[in-house]
Amino acid sequence: MITLIDLPYAPDALEPVISAQTLSFHHGKHLQAYVDNLNKLLPDSLFEGLPVEKIVARSSAGPVYNNAGQILNHNLYFTQFKAPGEGAPAGALAAQIDKQWGSLEAFQAEFEAQGVGLFGSGWVWLSKAEDGSLVITQEAGAGNPVTKGLKPLLTFDVWEHAYYLDYQNRRAAHLHALWSIVDWRVIEERYDR
């Protein structure tokens, strides 16, 4: 049985970037609905008993993929944040960002542009390829880079429910603000695994 993840911070810990109200709807209602839907679909299926990441990697479309994809995406999303503050990547991840983009700021600008440029709803991802290089991808709907053989590290949700209560239609402002709550230690751990 798939369960709703616990948030690693208090409901108001991400304010003003993400309000407690948005977090309540996004985590407690949207993500909970995906968990409930997937649990109804799994019994007697080929995916019963598998972890969510394997369900996403082995399914390709349809309700199982959509719900499992949204669960995996949201689990990675919600666990990558901390209370607002300063922060930057370090170690091998920082070195790879500098190697590929020249600076953290250049990387962030490209990442935000990919998020703003995604038509409709979905996700923008930073992932690690097998050779250690970094890849920014846009994924529509429930898409996740694991389906392309990549290791997801960082994601920004560009579905309107992730930001509309706090930012209305200002997707770019929301994406820019998210950098202040990224917990780079979590992203570094994902990169180093």
Q: Which of 15, 174, 165, 162 lies closest to 83 in space, CA to CA?
A: 15
Cβ pair 87, 17 in contact under 8 A: no
DSSP annotation of 182 reads: B
Q: pLDDT value at position 60? A: 81
Residues of the chain with pLDDT under 50: none
- State the sign of the Cα–Cα–Cα–Cα dihedral 148, 152, 158, 160: positive
- SS3 assignment, position 124: strand
pLDDT score at 64? 96
**Would you say 125 and 139 are in contact if contact means Cβ atoms under 8 Å apart?**
yes
Question: What's the CATH code, domain 20-78?
Answer: 1.10.287.990
Every domain of the chain and the residues it spans: 20-78, 91-192
SS3 content of the chain, % helix, strand, coil (to 5): 55, 10, 35
Residue 78 confidence (pLDDT): 97
CATH superfamily ID and name for 91-192: Iron/manganese superoxide dismutase, C-terminal domain (3.55.40.20)
